[in-house]
Amino acid sequence: MTKRDFLCLANLSLDEARHVLSLAATLKAAPKGSHADELRGRAVAIVMEKASTRTRVSFEVGVAQLGGYPVVLSTQGSQLARGEPVFDTARVLSRYCDAIVYRTSETARLREMARAPVPVVNALSDDGHPVQVLCDLFTIEEALARRGDGRKLSELTVAWVGDGSSNMARSFVEAAGLFGFALRIAAPDGYRPPSDEVAAARGRVSLHVRPEDALRGAGAVNTDVWTSMGQESENEARLRAFAGWTVDESMLRAAEPDAFVLHCLPAHRGEEIDDETIEGPRSVVWDQAENRLHVQKALLCFLLGV
């Protein structure tokens, strides 16, 4: 059987993505300890070349809850810091571990890791954060169901406000194409997603200059930091470019009155989102963070064929 990776959303068909989300709902609803054998005897390497709280802990706990053994490595403290080639690391890890979860910068490094003969999961790279976005879609559908809203995800308009060139925004573009929802992105000049990626979403993505235009009719509103990890030297320029782009209650007036507010976290309150909004009744950010655990457990089960 050929191994399956999850480097981007396009690595799944819609049916497979739906299967993962439905398994995630089953795992979330199950009593603790009831799925403790799925990964029995298996080890999963979690390799972090950038900081992480949610991704690292949710994968580590998730693997343990499924009866597997998580092994966490960071650059510092492993031979990656001393320049060991990624492909060498990949081959060695695959002799001990059954899957590799990898957070890195350039896609080239991710592809090198994916040359391992075991499944590799992108835990964030410069080009995407697909596990996060899969969890975000789960969170939106869960929130719709919880309030008895009969709409499907494909009937919803999702807005993205802020850095449209970020890894998060780019995975949302892919998700719009795969799941068929309308994604309206408002981003300043120079911060739009690559046009070939927008084109690949088959008309599901529209680009806007003013946040209000993207928010019109939106049932879910999403944003992310203006300066992502690795872009710290651009911070001043980014603060200038995004001045006035804070998602706040006044901006949200353009969206549906009960639009869900999402943020993958960590948030810079007062920059891309204000305190009142992230703590407000429309915010689903804490469920969003929790759902990392359930969706990633389901994803690992799918990729490992258990």
Catalytic amino acids?
103, 129, 132, 224, 264, 292
Using Cβ positions, the residue closest to ligand CP within the complex turns out to be: 55
Instruction: Judge residue 57's burial from the number of C-beta atoms within 10 Å of its C-beta, 0-12 exposed, 13-18 middle, 19 or more buried.
Output: middle
Residue 124 and residue 185: Cα distance in Å, rounded?
20
Q: Which of 54, 170, 208, 297 binds ligand CP (CB under 6 A)?
A: 54
Residue linked to tokens 């492909």: 87
- CB-based contacts of 81, cutoff 8 Å, min separation 6: 75
Closest C-alpha among 177, 153, 282 to residue 223:
282
Residue 194 and residue 212: Cα distance in Å, rounded?
22
Token reading at 287:
């469920």
Distances (CA, A) of 89 to 43, 78, 79, 112, 243: 15, 10, 8, 9, 42
Q: Which does 168 bind (CB under 5 to 8 A by kind): ligand CP, ligand NVA, none?
A: ligand NVA
Distance in Å, CB of 102 to ligand NVA, minimum:
14
Report the SS3 class of residue 43: strand
Which 183-242 residues touch ligand NVA, going by CB under 6 A?
224-225, 228-229
Q: Which of 11, 52, 125, 139 binds ligand CP (CB under 6 A)?
A: 52
CB of 24 or CB of 182, closer to ligand CP: 24
Q: Does 277 bind ligand CP (CB under 6 A)?
A: no
Which region among 16-24, 47-55, 153-161, 212-220 touches ligand CP (by CB under 6 A)? 47-55
Q: Which does 166 bind (CB under 5 to 8 A by kind): ligand CP, ligand NVA, none?
A: ligand NVA
Binding site for ligand NVA (CB under 6 A): 124, 129, 166-168, 224-225, 228-229, 264
Binding site for ligand CP (CB under 6 A): 52-56, 124, 132, 264-265
